[in-house]
Chains A and B, each alone.
Chain A
């Protein structure tokens, strides 16, 4: 069986004709399989949605109860047959509930990575390697300049700065789903036992993570208080809020941004980050390569990101590579992702 008969790109997203199903469609479709809850992958208005229970809960929290006509839970490792194709979901290590999609038919297995990472993350189960014939991967950080340090190392940098400026507040811009909770969990692991203050836009997802049993520490909503109350405090907010009058309530704030793009100085300055933290929920250059090798796939399709560099590397490894240039993904670590 040819892989393209199982899945192929369409303007709406990756499509399986046998099952009449799209993976992460960017426009409303009758039947969708959603890899994770970020707004560029999980959109409103599909007829029916198949996803992990966590992803469905995240979609419900962000878009309201009527986000889809019908929903169906598929657990990690559980298989479902649709139109003669066997689908299963496998942990992607990206955010809570994030999954890779394995689609198997006629002895050929295609795996769609969705967004993923290999670094340990206390807020979600680790990436599972699924051997396959065709691996369809993201490539957000597919350039050799992107090697992410450990999140632990970056959080230590934050704590060192807090110790150096005890009279100032540290306001960290982090994407509201996944990245923010990871920063909280890493702070707890690094021994931070004081409150972690959060912007109102983050409260719902924080609550959802806590209900799923993820330890995030003493999380509190930012409330009206004299400036001095926040001296030495750590505050999390969507990156977009850093540029608004909202931050003026804090004493001489040190503005920080957590994102893989912080590796590039111009990006950090663009966002006004005085303390850039390279904390990303995407695989870096080395981990993209490692993952491709781990899957044993002979053919690599690249959905979005820096496809040219990764395709070049695949060529050098004797792997067949194809850039799909899917449009509409990959904005969630961008500054404007905060609005979502």
Chain B
């Protein structure tokens, strides 16, 4: 466990991709089976433990620490595993007793639920704070060490002088602790049985573009589609060497997310790899990202959730069909094959991403400004802009220049006043980084209209944190009320993607995707916007009664 903990520590602080690769490669080279395989599984998110969950850690913390001090510490650190690792009452005499990651993983898998708290507590007593952190992170998942599945596979490839795609090819055929995979990589075993189609292809990404940049481009060389506000996925399905049907759903970074969408994956009745957007459809229309998030945020997937949030994939590219890798073909040829493919698979949980008709850039600009009349119809709320693709573009991994462009909708902007702040979690933990802001009502009072926790630079965060600490009027548990009178307070420019009526918010409106776009140190709170001005942004059919 010490070695694994040391690796996680180094990875967490190593910013460079090459540095991370070197650390991973060295670890895989020097660590015996099955420790290295369990470590690989932990880092690629392939481990889940039925009985060991975050709740178990909370209960242990409640037994061993003062609840008030634990609450304050958790609020500061912003991460459950790290908080407990740091404040666990240590038994220095027993620290770092021999305990391997294999002991821990097998113990977490096999220990009965009622015995687990005792077992985990005894491990925590035996480990130092780094080991405790690694152990608790194994249980809570989400290591946050900046290692994607793709990066781990690239490190494995380096170990054996192979390419990441070669490792990708066999990935579906191996399971933790991957002893056969390592044997093959080190030349002492056979290649795991391979399917040509059920694999992840590194996706092609687009460049943001402004109107002045594409004005000189010839519109006839390009096609356009809506940019859908869902999650980018790859659907891969086919047969393995033994003729067994396999279906996988991959995220943009190559994580296998099939487990979260069993309803989708069960419908993969094809032998192909598709690139598309995962979306939720209800009442005939595609739902916005807020709705999709309600499904994404759940830990367990049950029938009710799947029925309530039915997922499908709006496909926009066909990367492989049967044994043919289609990525070398120009976009329009792949598109023709894709259209035929969608027609031939009416039962699959997919539909076709439609093209936007346009002859000139002005036509496209008009469609982008009003998607519901530009062709998106009932789905317009889920549009976040347009994608512009060169007709002759091959499908290239990464972000190649000159082929794919994204032209997002312009955000809406208001000036609001900072009202409350709370410490954040993850990257921004321990700083006051979650901000509630408000606008003026007719009665001349501020009413909160949203929360934002990004859109500022690291330097601005430090200034914002200091502003909050130096201008605290009241403390409500972890929440600080910040000075906000007409003359004293902080004005922030908030950008957002849409506004909806909401009965859950006192102001009656809810913003979508709000973030700070500028901090207006120069403005006085009385210069900020009013609720009336904000309501002008309500989407059509939601205008306030006049």
From B68, B86, B427, B469, give the contact of A266 (CB < 8 A).
B427
Binding-face segment, A44-52, A100-108, A169-177, A272-280: A272-280
Which residues of A in the span 303-340 have a Cβ within 8 Å of any Cβ on B? 306, 308-309, 312-313, 316, 325, 327-328, 331, 334-336
Does B87 belong to the interface (CB within 8 Å)?
yes
Query: Please, how many angstroms separate the alpha-carbon atoms of A289 and B66 in the complex?
Result: 15
Q: Is the CB of B87 within 8 A of A144?
A: yes
Chain A positions 237-279 with a Cβ under 8 Å from a chain B Cβ:
261, 263-270, 272-276
Check A306–B72 contact: CB distance below 8 A: yes
B69 A144 Cβ-Cβ under 8 A: yes
In this complex, how many residues of chain B approach chain A with their Cβ under 8 Å: the count is 34
CA distance A144 to B13 in the complex (A): 23
Task: Determine how close the nearest CB of chain A comes to the CB of B413; give it in whole angstroms.
Answer: 27
Contacts of B73 in A (CB 8 A): 143-145, 309
- B355 touches A (CB below 8 Å): no
A334 contacts which chain B residues (CB < 8 A)? 462, 466
**In the complex, what residues of B have CB within 8 A of residue A312's CB?**
66, 68-69, 72
B77: interface (CB < 8 Å): yes
- Is B15 positioned at the interface, with any CB of A under 8 Å from its CB? yes
CB distance from A223 to the nearest CB of B (A): 27
**Residues in chain B near residue A328, CB distance under 8 A:** 470
Q: Does B429 contact A (CB under 8 A)?
A: yes
Which of A143, A146, A264, A275 has the largest number of chain B CB atoms within 10 A?
A: A143
Complex contact B13–A274 (CB within 8 A): yes
In whole angstroms, what is the CA distance A226 to B82 when docked? 42
* B463 CB within 8 Å of chain A: yes
B79 within 8 A of partner (CB):
yes
Which of A264, A267, A272, A316 counts the most B-chain CB atoms under 10 A from its CB? Answer: A264
Contact of A143 among B13, B15, B76, B470 (CB under 8 A): B76
Interfacial chain B residues near A272, Cβ < 8 Å:
15
Q: Which residue of A lies closest to B13 (CB)?
A: A274
Give residues of chain B (69-89) contacting chain A, Cβ–Cβ below 8 Å.
69, 72-73, 76-79, 82-83, 86-87
| Interface residue B365 (Cβ < 8 Å from any Cβ of A) | no
Task: State the interface size on chain A (CB cutoff 8 A).
Answer: 32
Residue of B nearest to A337 (CB): B462
B96 within 8 A of A: no
Flag if B427 contacts A270 (CB, 8 Å): yes
Closest to A274 in B: B13
Q: Is the CB of B427 within 8 A of A327?
A: no
Complex Cα distance, B469 from A325, in Å, reads 9
A264-B472 contact in complex given A145-B76, A331-B466, C-beta closer than 8 Å: no
| A266-B427, A335-B462 given; A145·B13 CB < 8 A | no
Do residues B15 and A144 form an inter-chain contact, with CB atoms below 8 A?
Answer: no
| Chain A nearest Cβ from B267, distance in angstroms | 40
Q: Is the CB of A264 within 8 A of B13?
A: no
- Of the residues A145, A276, A316, contact of B83 by C-beta under 8 Å: A145
Closest partner residue, chain A, to B475 (CB atom): A308
Please, which residue of chain B has its CB at the minimum distance from the CB of A142? B72
Interface string of B428-471 (1 = CB under 8 A from A): 11110000000000000000000000000011011100100110
Which single member of A147, A264, A273, A313 contacts B69 (CB below 8 Å)?
A313
Decide: A144 near B65, CB < 8 A? Known: A264-B82, A269-B427, A276-B13: yes
Tell me if B69 and A266 are in contact (CB < 8 A). Answer: no
Question: How far, in angstroms, from A312 to B67 measured CA to CA in the complex?
Answer: 11
B12 contacts chain A at the CB level, 8 A cutoff: yes
Nearest CB on A from B155, distance (A): 19
Is B426 interfacial (CB 8 A cutoff)?
yes
Is B14 among interface residues, defined by CB-CB distance under 8 A?
yes
Q: How far is the CB of B249 from chain A (nearest CB, A)?
A: 30
A266 touches B12 (CB 8 A): no
CB distance A268 to B13 under 8 Å?
Answer: yes
Q: How far is the CA of A64 from the CA of B469 in the complex (A)?
A: 30
B54-67 near A? 1/0 per residue, CB < 8 Å: 00000000000110
Closest partner residue, chain A, to B78 (CB atom): A266
Contact A275 B13 (CB under 8 A): yes
Whether the Cβ atoms of A265 and B462 lie closer than 8 Å is no
Residues of chain B with a CB closer than 8 A to A306's CB: 72, 76
Q: Give B471-491 as 1s and 0s: 1 = Cβ < 8 Å from A's Cβ atoms.
A: 010010000000000000000
Q: Report the separation of the CA atoms of residues A309 and B76 in the bound assembly, to the nearest whole angstrom.
A: 11
- Whether A309 pairs with B427 at a CB distance below 8 angstroms is no
Neighbouring B residues of A261 by C-beta, 8 Å: 430
Q: Which residues of B contact A325 (CB under 8 A)?
A: 472
- Chain A, residues 271-308, CB within 8 Å of chain B (1/0): the string is 01111100000000000000000000000000000101
A266→B72 contact, CB < 8 A? no
How far is B87's CA from A272's CA once the two chains are assembled, in angstroms?
24
Q: Which residues of A contact B428 (CB under 8 A)?
A: 266, 270
* Contact partners of A335 in chain B: CB under 8 A: 462
Inter-chain CA distance A271–B12, complex, in Å, is 13
Q: In whole angstroms, what is the CA distance A146 to B83 when docked?
A: 10
Please, how many angstroms separate the alpha-carbon atoms of A267 and B429 in the complex? 8
A273 with B13, Cβ < 8 A, contacts A144-B73, A266-B430, A309-B69 known: yes
- C-alpha spacing A313/B86, complex, angstroms: 18
Q: Given the interface contacts A145-B83, A325-B472, does A264 sit within 8 Å of B430 by beta carbon?
A: yes
A contact residues around B427 at 8 Å (CB):
266, 269-270
18-60 of chain A: CB within 8 A of chain B: none
Q: Report Cα–Cα, A148/B431, bound state, in Å.
A: 20
A316–B68 CA distance with the chains assembled, in angstroms = 11
- Closest A residue to B12 by beta carbon equals A265
B429 contacts A263, C-beta separation under 8 Å:
no
CB nearest to B426 among chain A residues: A266
Q: From B15, B72, B426, name the one whose CB has the most chain A CB atoms within 10 angstroms.
A: B72
Contacts A143-B69, A143-B76, A145-B83 known; A336 to B462 CB distance under 8 Å?
A: yes
| Minimum CB–CB distance for B264 against chain A, Å | 34
In the assembled complex, the CB of A191 is this many whole angstroms from the nearest CB of chain B, namely 24
Within 8 A of A (CB), among B412-428: 426-428
Instruction: Give Cα A154 to B15, complex, Å.
Output: 21
Interchain CB contact under 8 A, B72 and A309: yes
Given contacts A264-B429, A266-B426, A269-B12, contact A145 B466 (CB under 8 A): no
**Complex Cα spacing A274 to B68, Å:** 32
**Closest residue on chain A to residue B133 by CB atoms:** A265
Q: Chain B residues near A147: list those with CB within 8 A.
A: 86
Q: Evaluate contact between A327 and B470: CB separation under 8 angstroms.
A: yes
Which residues of chain B come closer than 8 Å to A264, judged between CB atoms? 76-77, 82, 429-430
Interface string of A130-149 (1 = CB under 8 A from B): 00000000000001111100
Contacts of B68 in A (CB 8 A): 309, 312
Closest 7 pairs (CB-CB, A-B): A145-B86, A266-B429, A144-B87, A309-B72, A145-B73, A274-B13, A143-B73
18 A–B contacts from the bound complex (CB under 8 Å): A143-B72, A144-B73, A145-B73, A146-B86, A264-B82, A264-B429, A266-B429, A266-B430, A268-B13, A269-B427, A270-B461, A306-B72, A308-B475, A309-B68, A312-B72, A316-B66, A335-B462, A336-B463
Interface contacts beyond A270-B431, A334-B466, A336-B463: sample of 20 additional A-B pairs, CB < 8 Å, sorted by A? A144-B65, A144-B87, A145-B73, A145-B86, A263-B86, A264-B77, A264-B82, A265-B79, A266-B78, A269-B13, A270-B458, A274-B13, A274-B15, A275-B13, A308-B72, A309-B69, A325-B472, A327-B470, A328-B470, A336-B466
